[in-house]
Amino acid sequence: MMSRRALLIGAPAAALAAKSGATVHVGCQTNAWPIEPKDLSSLLQVLGVIKQIGFEGFETGFRNLQDQFAQPAAARENLKKSGLRFFGIHVFLLSYDKQTSIAPWELLKQVADGGVSLGAERLIVSGASTPDSAALSRKAEGLNRIGKYCREKGIGFGYHNHQVEFQQNGFQIRGLLRQTDPETVHLVVDAGHAIEGGANIAEFFAANSRRIDGMHLRDARAGQEVPLGQGDYNWRTLAAAIRAASWNGWLLAEEERLSGEKPGETAARPARETIRRVFGV
């Protein structure tokens, strides 16, 4: 049960969100839970918890669904029965194509096609650092290519950043925004990584909200990840920027701990309450 103080703090945010007329959606990344990639029921159980906590949608890594691509009909129906919107299927690797600094083209096509067959709303792609202008331009070219392919297949596309892309006054992320097609290449901004890279996340959002489909929210205290709302990050300036923009994208709770810990519901539930209290949704 929420305290009287939490309700009072959340009331202004909720009132302002309603006044703006924007519909912000709330989702959860599944990487807070241990999932067996070859067992769809493992993912479906997690989705049941996410739904019960009060989230509207989910994002998951491509490996959790890759085995379903060949015969997607039953899996698509089971995902739909979860009652959650499938915000996105995410391609994250430990190493990337040396030419483009993102996943190899054939894998990106496979996951885009698989995502379409399973009902995903967008493909999400992470990548490696591009510290020089030539590497950055090659990466932008690769993102433009897969963004165009996704549009042709009827699925959205978003690039997911890490900390390094916001370092050096955002050299890499600003370069990608300049060199990619705003119609086909959007962002799924990891706000925690951006903050750690030195970004003023509220200012970045305000300047680029039209290209931002979603925001990953996570928290840390003294450099150690903790459930959202229990750390050092001040999310209220971002909440104000979202209200001012009348944005209708997604806020997604994410837990991605370097220790490998999978806190599951013990982190996702307070994250949902924090999003409700601070962002009013």
The domain ranges of the chain are 4-279
Q: What is the pTM of this model?
A: 0.92
* Closest alpha carbon to 58 in 145, 124, 128: 124
**Helix/strand/coil (H, E, C) string of 118-159?**
HCCCEEEECCCCCCCHHHHHHHHHHHHHHHHHHHHHCCEEEE
pLDDT in tens, 27-80: 999 999 999 999 999 999 999 999 999 999 999 999 999 999 999 999 999 999
Q: Cβ distance 37 to 66 under 8 Å? A: yes
Neighbours of 203 (CB within 10 A): 12
Q: What are phi and psi of 177, to 5 degrees?
A: -65, -40
Instruction: Please name the residue ranges forming H helices in the chain.
Output: 4-20, 40-53, 73-81, 105-118, 133-153, 167-179, 191-196, 201-208, 236-245, 265-274
Amino acid identity of residue 46, one-letter, is V
Is the pLDDT assigned to residue 251 strictly greater than 70? yes
CATH 1.20.1250.20 fits 4-279, yes or no: no
How does residue 11 score in pLDDT terms, banded at 50, 70 and 90? very low
Q: Distances from the Cα of 171 to the Cαs of 42, 159, 186, 196, in angstroms?
A: 40, 16, 17, 15
pLDDT in tens, 176-230: 999 999 999 999 999 999 999 999 999 999 999 999 999 999 999 998 999 999 9
